[in-house]
Amino acid sequence: MHAHLYFIPLIAMAVVWLAMVILDLRFGVMRATDKFSSPASQFIAYAFLGVFLLLLTFLVVGSSMRVPTREQLAKTPFYQLFSLHAILIVFLFVWWLLTNRPNLLDYLNIQRRDFGKALLTGCAVGVGGWIFTIIMALVVGGILVASGLMPKNATPPPMIAWLVTMPLWKRGIVVLSAMTVEEAFFRGWLQKTLRPDRLDHPLRPRPRRPGTAVPAHRRKRHLARHRHGLLPHEEPHPGSHCPRDLRRRAVVSS
């Protein structure tokens, strides 16, 4: 009945998936961190990523169009709250298999040096992020109320009230699942693949690669043009210029 409402989000996600595949084929965006064992596994990963993104879009759009009532939420099984997290876990597991099963700490982008410092930094950033989110929500809500787009006595959605009335141990499990599964997905795939320095890295100019100093007895690759822009102890990367021989003679003959 509402099939047309799915069309635009699914098309937009398909365009995003196609752009990711093209970026990886042209510039190796995903292959820079995830090493596929073979070309076949690489294209299987592309297809799996497309199915995952389209499925996720379909579920999000569907849930946004069917807001459950309080009575429906009361009959909802507790395990159903973790269906989206289960999809993320399956995605991470299959992607780990397709990328030749790397070390889990490396795959999840977990630092092994200065672990205590990184943990404290993460907690501080997380608390700061929550504070910033709450402040921005209050600011945006105040703007919407002042402009008349939102009523002054707005009631929270039934989902919020249902979560608040849950037993403490259930709320703790929901928070624990969110902070571990979503963080694992962010660090294990999203952060490595879509970080800004990874996206534009193939488009940046390549730096010169310094090598060992040229021995004094060598008589090749000594043209001034060939060594332009290099320090005396540097050697240009092989293949950047054609090697030439130079027979040195005195400038002024006696």
Tens of pLDDT, residues 35-82: 888 888 889 999 999 999 999 999 888 887 787 888 888 888 988 889
**Counting Cβ atoms within 10 Å, is residue 193 exposed (0-12), middle (13-18) or buried (19+)?**
buried
Tens of pLDDT, residues 169-194: 999 999 899 888 988 888 888 777 66
pLDDT value of position 46 = 92
pTM for this prediction: 0.64
> For the chain, where are the alpha helices, taking DSSP H only?
3-27, 39-65, 70-74, 83-98, 104-107, 115-146, 158-164, 168-177, 183-185, 191-194, 196-199
Amino acid at 10: L
DSSP state of 220: B
Does pLDDT of 92 surpass 90? yes
Tokens 């952060």 sit on residue? 191
pLDDT value of position 229 = 56
Rounded to an integer, what distance in angstroms lies between the CA atom of residue 31 and that of residue 33?
Answer: 5
DSSP state of 253: -
**Counting Cβ atoms within 10 Å, is residue 84 exposed (0-12), middle (13-18) or buried (19+)?**
middle
Amino acid at 158: P
**Residue whose C-alpha is closest to residue 7's, from 54, 73, 64:** 54
Tens of pLDDT, residues 114-169: 777 777 877 787 788 888 888 988 888 888 888 877 777 777 778 888 888 889 99
Rounded to an integer, what distance in angstroms lies between the CA atom of residue 130 and that of residue 151?
Answer: 25
**10 vs 118, higher pLDDT:** 10
Rounded to an integer, what distance in angstroms lies between the CA atom of residue 131 and that of residue 126?
Answer: 9
Q: Where are the domains of the chain?
A: 3-203
As a whole number, mean pLDDT of residues 87-94 equals 94
pLDDT band at 32; cut points 50, 70, 90: low
pLDDT value of position 82 = 92
Round the average pLDDT of the chain to a whole number and report it: 76
Rounded to an integer, what distance in angstroms lies between the CA atom of residue 83 and that of residue 73?
Answer: 15
Give the chain's largest Cα–Cα span. Answer: 107
Question: Is the Cβ–Cβ distance between 186 and 178 less than 8 Å?
Answer: no
